[in-house]
A and B are shown apart, each in its own frame.
Chain A
Amino acid sequence: MTDTFAALAHGMAVAIQPMNLLYALIGVFLGTAVGVLPGIGPALTVALLLPVTYKLDPGGSLIMFAGIYYGGMYGGSTTAILINTPGESASMATALEGNKMAKAGRGGPALATSAIGSFVAGTIATIGLAFLAPWLVDVAVRFGPEDYFALMCVAFVTVSATFGDSPIRGLTSLFIGLTLGLVGIDKLTGQARLTFGVPELLDGVEVTTLAVGLFAVGEALYVASRRHHTEEKLEPVRGSLWMTKEDWKRSWKPWLRGTMFGFPIGALPAGGAEIPTFLSYSTEKRLTKHPEEFGKGAIEGVAGPEAANNASAAGTLVPLLTLGLPTSATAAMMLAGFQQYGLNPGPLLFAERPDLVWGLIASLFIANMMLLVLNLPLVGLWVRLLAIPQPWLYAGILVFATMGTIAAKPSVVELSMLAGFGVLGFLMRRFDFPIAPVVVGLILGPIAESQLRRALAISLGDPMTLVQSPISATLLSIALIALLAPFVLKGLGRFKANED
């Protein structure tokens, strides 16, 4: 307990150095500005802004990252409320009620309850992170390679199969990611795999190239292809920005309940913020004293899901920082940010670079506070960003997206891969395959393979080592149950449907 306070105080001392405060401020500003653009979720925000941090020292860049991360989330909810295009599925519930509120001239209070709710949830969840992380690190140092391998199996299954619409399509995405992860030199034997004689492929597929291609280029192609279907309408912010006493009274409980859903589910390797936001939405719908307002702009329906969304974002940092396990596309991009400095999140990082880890955690508090102060007064500026005509908006997004690759590796091969991943992202959107599992597969696949090979080398090739460790055996059973559950439940559902 006291250790955590000491570490956190040390982190605060790092974070409030003037230079670091400036980095955090630039981060939240850029994060909100990019996140507010329609169709751009937090994962893409982080991916697009990665090149901005190339030349900073790791500490400063991670602090800027914390700001970009939270800024992207705030920006996304602003878009969801004002033009009803959620940049990610976790903002869908917000768009449902928030956009109705904006249409009814209550856009101000909707933005306010989402901003304050995000602040409350983000703060509580970051405290949760600060206290949970050291404990999990203690557990994680006892993990052997076979346990890590089993843990990654759990993440693979939950991210792709358990919570999606179709386990087959989710797993297909995951295996595409795993295939991409095989490209390059095998770290243990130095042999090249799947490089087809192309020297640029020896280093493997860059995470940022894949993510920017799938998310940015893919999204631009997809939106362009179905431009004739959608007509976006920007709701002006009319009336007071401030919440009335009644609004406060109806908001504070949903904020807290949303946090209670968001943080634990985000901290489990269960993938994404969709589940807690929808749980929160349905709970508020059930508990409200104004059920007639739901579907027409109920403030509880914005307050709860927004809090859940932010709390789960902080929650996903728990497995990311303590185990090096990204469980959402955004967390995967954060991991890519660490890796560009050769840093690997995990128990070792807590021991070796406590200043970095705790500086980052402290910066999350500061970024949250800055956003609360910045976001509401600046809402006019964000609204103006939303009014950029679509052709220029997507042209600008593509220029910025390719710029990241051009700055990192200005080769024809790398740019062609970016374009190729863009086409892949377009086709996956068109045929309804989830995208996050591809990114998670690319990042975790090679790690899982090396842990498995290490475990088998230690056990002299005996595969029983995977079930002899109690931790690994438990985790593998969980993975198996999580893999089979959707198929069994679907079968039950069909059985019931036949009975009717």
Chain B
Amino acid sequence: MTSSDPVQPRRVDRAGLVIAALLAGLAAVLVWDARGLQSTAMYGMGPEAMPVVVASGLTLLAIGNFIDALRGNLPARESTDPVPVFLILIGLALLIAIIGFGGGFILATSALFVTTSAAFGRRAIVVDSIIALVMSILIYLAFDRLLTLSLPTGPLERLL
């Protein structure tokens, strides 16, 4: 909001430039990957044709997004708070790590529940942990026993 110049009311949108660059990068990855494919089709198109078509489209769209960003044509954005986003991502990382190291479904989803709840402003970690454990045990029992879906087991699941 610093530029009040009436001739150029809209500024270059930096995030838009990053988006355009990412799209161009994605197109490059597609072409690079397609080069390793062998065209075995006698007639018509082989497996490498479609990635090239999609990459061309992405390149055009990168240019389109680039122009939009230069003109500042992107819709207005509201301010965001990065802390809750990181908290939830930490929760997801914990979940993946616990599942990966064999900690089981209950511990993994409980960790995600507590961090998400904290991200939305709750500070009662003990209460939330108890709620999370009870809930994930109930979900585990319902899905593992009633619907016979196999969920990953860890130390807690073996006790049940």
**Which A residues form the contact surface with B (CB < 8 A)?**
51-52, 54-55, 165-166, 168-169, 171-172, 175-176, 178-179, 182, 186, 188-189, 191, 193-194, 196, 217, 220-221, 224-229, 389-392, 394-396, 398-400, 402-403, 406-407, 410, 412, 415-416, 418-419, 422-423, 426, 430-432, 445, 449, 452-453, 455-457, 459-461
Contacts and interface: CB of A to CB of B under 8 A. Distances in A.
Contact of B44 (A169, A171, A461): A461
B19 interface: yes
Contacts of A455: 44
Interface residues of B, number: 73
B61 A453 contact: no
A412 to B, nearest CB: 4
Contacts of B77: 430-432
A227 B91 CA distance: 18
A221 B85 CA distance: 5
B107 interface: no
Given A193-B37, A449-B50, A461-B44, A51 B149 contact: yes
Given A224-B85, A391-B122, A193 B33 contact: yes
A394 B80 contact: no
Interface of B: 15-16, 19, 23, 26, 29-30, 33-34, 37-38, 40-41, 43-47, 50-51, 54, 57-58, 61, 64-65, 68, 74-75, 77-82, 84-85, 87-89, 91-93, 95-96, 99-100, 105, 108-109, 112-114, 116-122, 128, 131-132, 135-136, 139, 143, 147-152
A402 B51 contact: no
A398 B116 contact: yes
Best-surrounded residue of B75, B85, B89 (most CB of chain A within 10 A): B85
A431 B51 contact: no
B54 A391 contact: no
B61 A175 contact: yes
Contacts of B135: 396, 399
B96 A416 contact: yes
A410 B98 CA distance: 11
Contacts, number: 201
Contacts of B30: 179, 182, 194
A168 B61 contact: yes
A432 B74 contact: yes
A431 B114 CA distance: 28
A337 to B, nearest CB: 16
A453 B88 contact: no
B33 A419 contact: no
Contacts of B40: 189
Contact of A406 (B37, B120, B151): B151
Main secondary structure of the interface of A (DSSP, over half): helix
Contact of B80 (A179, A391, A410, A430): A430
A430 B26 CA distance: 20
A415 B94 CA distance: 11
Contacts of A229: 78
A485 B122 CA distance: 49
Best-surrounded residue of A399, A400, A407 (most CB of chain B within 10 A): A399
Nearest to B56: A175
Contact of A399 (B38, B109, B151): B109
Contacts of A402: 92, 95, 109, 112
B18 to A, nearest CB: 10
B113 A395 contact: yes
Nearest to A176: B26
A172 B77 CA distance: 19
A453 to B, nearest CB: 5
29 contacts: A54-B147, A172-B61, A175-B54, A179-B58, A182-B50, A182-B54, A189-B37, A220-B116, A221-B88, A224-B81, A224-B116, A225-B80, A226-B79, A227-B121, A390-B120, A394-B120, A395-B132, A396-B113, A398-B92, A398-B113, A399-B109, A399-B139, A403-B105, A407-B149, A426-B85, A430-B80, A431-B74, A453-B41, A455-B44
Given A193-B51, A453-B45, A391 B117 contact: yes
A431 B43 contact: no
A182 B117 contact: no
Given A398-B112, A453-B41, 16 more contacts: A189-B41, A225-B80, A227-B84, A391-B117, A391-B119, A395-B132, A399-B109, A403-B139, A406-B99, A415-B95, A422-B92, A426-B85, A431-B77, A457-B43, A460-B43, A461-B43
